[in-house]
Chains A and B, each alone.
Chain A
Amino acid sequence: MIRRDKQISISRELSKKLLPVSLIICLVISFLIPGAYSYLEFKRLKNETSLYARQLSDSIRQLAAGSPGLWKYQATKYSEIIESFVPNKGIFSIAVLDGQSNPITQFSHREKTQGLFSQFAIQGEPASILFNNQKIGEIWIHLAAGSFLVKALTIFILCLVMGGSLSMLVYRMPLVGIKSLEQQLLDYQNSLEELVIQRTTALQETTEKALQLAEARRHDQEELLEAKASLEQRVEERTKELQDQVLAKELALAELATAQSSLLELSRAAGMAEVATGVLHNVGNVLNSVNVSCNLIMNQVRESRMGNIAKVAGLIAESGADLGRFLAEDPRGRQIPVYLTSLSSVLLEEQQLILRETEALQQRIAHIKEIVTMQQSYGRVSGVLETIAPEQLMEDTLKLSAGALARHEISVERQYRDVPPITADKHKVLQILLNLINNAKYACAGLEKEKIITLRIFCSGPDRLSMQVSDNGRGIPSENLTRIFQHGFTTRKSGHGFGLHSGAIAAKGLGGSLSVHSDGLDLGATFTLDLPIFQETAHDAR
């Protein structure tokens, strides 16, 4: 409080000194500037007025000089001179007086102007009209002062406002600044004291916290030591567990190898059963045709006119030696030659029909034999290399599956290019293709649209060949494409997940590869068996 009193007295001292200064500024600006302007402008206007009077007196003097005694009678001409002289000079009035100051011509602008100061005028010095160095008259001019007064008043008001404002600024600004500084100092001091108190308190709190922290750290250290001991024990236990697990895994792997080999056998047996089923079905189909042909032959023989020959022979035998007469005279004998002729042609037709059906029967039996021979050849032990046309291999596989494809109403499209024969283990290739066609058949099962399997053969490189099986069936989702050749992967309830796996292994064994492509679900799938063409390549691959 004592400090504040002291500061207020400083402001008061300053205010006492500033007051006269601001008053002087106010007076100087408010009165000196407008006063100076008014004085100078008035003087200028007065000079201008005198100059106008002199100019006019010169014009009038020239006219007056012609007849100086009678010059005042030319008032009309003076009026005309004045009329042309007046415009744009701000003239309020003009008076032309004679030697006795009697007016000769007058002009007044007073009636034509209206305004705040329109009645005020500035009088200049009169100009004499001289003739022969004798004054014969004079001219008085008044200039309108309205505009000058309005300007002077405006400037005075503006200066008054400016002077007042400036003096207020001069008086107030330093005081405001000083007071603001005083307040800032006081505030600063107060804030310093508060800061010291805050810092002291904070220091105490920090010390307490540090003590607490040290205690807590000691406690944590003890806990850490305990945890370390417990952890070491757990690591030991876990190591033992892991060793047991590794042992068990090795055992399981050995069992798995055994299972895999037995599964391989099972698969082979299953494949063979599948081939056998196909063969039996084909044989069944052919036997059906054989049965039809047999029935046809039996019916033909049963209804044959062969017995009629016996009747004719009986008639001939009855006639005995009278055969000539019998043939010539007896009415039945006379019909015999004609009848025999027509019978021979009928019998000839029957013979041809039976011959045709018998040939068909022979063909069908040969077909059965072929099927059986094929079964025997594929049933042999694999590992023997043969050179065979790839179309033949594809067609043989198709024949083995033909029954199943017909049952499922699946049509087959062939797109074979001209390719050279390949040298390979025929049995393995057939097994792979049979598996692919079977898979395609399952993929098409249940489709409502037309089911199509497309078989392609083409050269995939200078000495490589591709055999493709495509279907328009269920397709394969992209996440399954990488897993489809894994052992045990299947999407069928009755599947073993072995066919494609073993096929891929077999293809690799042939020096080739088995790959798959599908655009996704319901967009079909294409399996490609890629093989080397030449024997040497095949041998090398093996």
Chain B
Amino acid sequence: MGIFIVGGLGFGSPGRASDIPAPAHPEAVIAAGSGVNLGITRLLAKAFVEENQTITIDIPGSIGTKGAIKAVTDGAITLGLVSRSLKEEEKNLGLVEHPYARVAIIVGAHSSVQEDTITTRQLIEIFKGTRTTWKDGNPIIVQAREKSDSGFLVLQAALPGFREVYTESHDAKRWTLYFNDQDANRALSNTPYAIGVTDLGMVATEHLRVKALKLDGIAPDMERVRNGTYPLSRTLSFIYRPELLPDEAKRFLGFVSTEAGKKILQENGYLPLP
């Protein structure tokens, strides 16, 4: 009849690198991870490769911070792109963390929205489902992310009362969910009257038609991120296994810290870190 007793069926942890496709080029540096980092990393890599023609840097699509940690641990990629600090158990995996920029996380709205600012209370009401229209009467379209998204995690930590509302909205399946940053950014940029969470860097690098709303009257800019006046920000880092880090990759990390690299970062809304 095709009915099975499945008690004996077992699953192990994913196998090690046996199915990883071989690098396209012998010198290629593969950098993969959080979608947050992708745009700026590609700009940095482009500038670096122009100076170092022999080196290839391959940056595939988003696999998330967690995916980056696993892939680096497995040796599947050279550099991992992460948009949050490593947790203790992740640090114990023998990974080195190289933070290089900070960026303001923003509550963004589609350019069609008239409002320039939003309060924490309004944000909570929107996610609770009790505030459904903008001032001009147009509907508010919420573009949400999976629970573990690093941007929403920062909002949950920084804005009192938001965590409960966001968790409840997930349980109620109230919003459309996007499971990577680029999908979410596209949806926010392409949907009139939409609201979502992204950051200043992605708005610049991905050329999004998204307006950064002032939060409780405070505009998100580099200076306010630096002095801590604006509460929402995240740190972008590279992670790697030092014993497996090739020279090409070391040179790329060095380039990011140069004035040229910092300039690229600043031009795209990032605050370079020393």
The residues of A that contact B170 with a CB separation of less than 8 Å are 84
Q: Residue-by-residue, is A494-524 near B (CB-CB < 8 Å gives 1, otherwise 0)? A: 0000000000000000000000000000000
Q: A179 on the interface (CB 8 Å rule)?
A: no
Closest to B7 in A: A119
- Residues 1-58 of B at the A interface (beta carbon under 8 Å): 1-7, 9, 11-12, 14-15, 18-21, 32
Q: Chain A, interface size: which category? A: 35 or more
Q: A149 to B177, alpha carbons, bound, how many Å?
A: 36
Most A CB within 10 A of own CB, among B2, B12, B170: B2
- Residues 39-79 of A at the B interface (beta carbon under 8 Å): 42, 46, 62-63, 65-77
| A502 → B minimal CB distance (Å) | 123
| B29 → A minimal CB distance (Å) | 14
Q: A110 to B11, alpha carbons, bound, how many Å?
A: 14
Most A CB within 10 A of own CB, among B4, B60, B63: B63
B11 touches A103 (CB 8 A): yes
Q: How many residues of B contact A (CB 8 A)?
A: 40
Q: A95 on the interface (CB 8 Å rule)?
A: yes
Q: B182 on the interface (CB 8 Å rule)?
A: yes
Query: Quick one: given A71-B63, A84-B177, A142-B4, are A103 and B146 in contact (CB under 8 Å)?
Result: no
Query: Quick one: given A66-B182, A123-B2, are A74 and B7 in contact (CB under 8 Å)?
Result: no
Choose, from B64-72, B156-164, B217-225, B258-266, the stretch at the interface.
Answer: B64-72
Q: A102 to B12, alpha carbons, bound, how many Å?
A: 8
Q: A46 to B1, alpha carbons, bound, how many Å?
A: 10
Query: Quick one: given A66-B61, A69-B20, A73-B71, are A95 and B11 in contact (CB under 8 Å)?
Result: yes
The residues of B that contact A62 with a CB separation of less than 8 Å are 183
B15 touches A70 (CB 8 A): no
B3 touches A122 (CB 8 A): yes
Query: Quick one: given A70-B60, A73-B63, A74-B63, are A100 and B18 in contact (CB under 8 Å)?
Result: yes
A98 touches B14 (CB 8 A): yes
Q: A42 to B173, alpha carbons, bound, how many Å?
A: 30
| B126 → A minimal CB distance (Å) | 20
Q: A102 to B21, alpha carbons, bound, how many Å?
A: 16
Q: A439 on the interface (CB 8 Å rule)?
A: no
The residues of A that contact B148 with a CB separation of less than 8 Å are 76-77, 80
Q: A95 to B15, alpha carbons, bound, how many Å?
A: 15
A98 touches B4 (CB 8 A): no
Q: B76 on the interface (CB 8 Å rule)?
A: yes
B6 touches A67 (CB 8 A): no
B179 touches A70 (CB 8 A): no
Q: A120 to B7, alpha carbons, bound, how many Å?
A: 9
Query: Quick one: given A77-B180, A103-B11, A103-B14, are A66 and B2 in contact (CB under 8 Å)?
Result: no
Complex partner residue of A84 from B2, B11, B74, B173, CB under 8 angstroms: B173
Q: A7 on the interface (CB 8 Å rule)?
A: no
- Residues 184-201 of B at the A interface (beta carbon under 8 Å): none
Q: B233 on the interface (CB 8 Å rule)?
A: no
B6 touches A73 (CB 8 A): no
The residues of B that contact A68 with a CB separation of less than 8 Å are 60
Q: B83 on the interface (CB 8 Å rule)?
A: no
The residues of B that contact A71 with a CB separation of less than 8 Å are 63
B32 touches A67 (CB 8 A): yes
Complex partner residue of A63 from B14, B15, B60, B179, CB under 8 angstroms: B179
Complex partner residue of A103 from B12, B32, B182, CB under 8 angstroms: B12
A42 touches B2 (CB 8 A): yes
The residues of B that contact A156 with a CB separation of less than 8 Å are none
B5 touches A120 (CB 8 A): yes
Closest to B177 in A: A84
Closest to A73 in B: B67
Q: A496 to B3, alpha carbons, bound, how many Å?
A: 133
A contacts, CB < 8 Å to B: 42, 46, 62-63, 65-77, 80-81, 84, 92-93, 95, 98-100, 102-104, 106, 110, 119-123, 142, 145, 149
Known contacts A66-B63, A70-B60, A122-B3; can you find 8 more A-B pairs with CB under 8 A? A62-B183, A66-B61, A67-B32, A76-B67, A77-B180, A80-B147, A100-B18, A145-B3
Q: List 5 A-B contacts (CB under 8 A).
A: A42-B1, A46-B2, A69-B60, A74-B63, A80-B146
> Top 5 A-B pairs ranked by shortest CB distance?
A66-B61, A73-B67, A67-B60, A103-B11, A67-B61
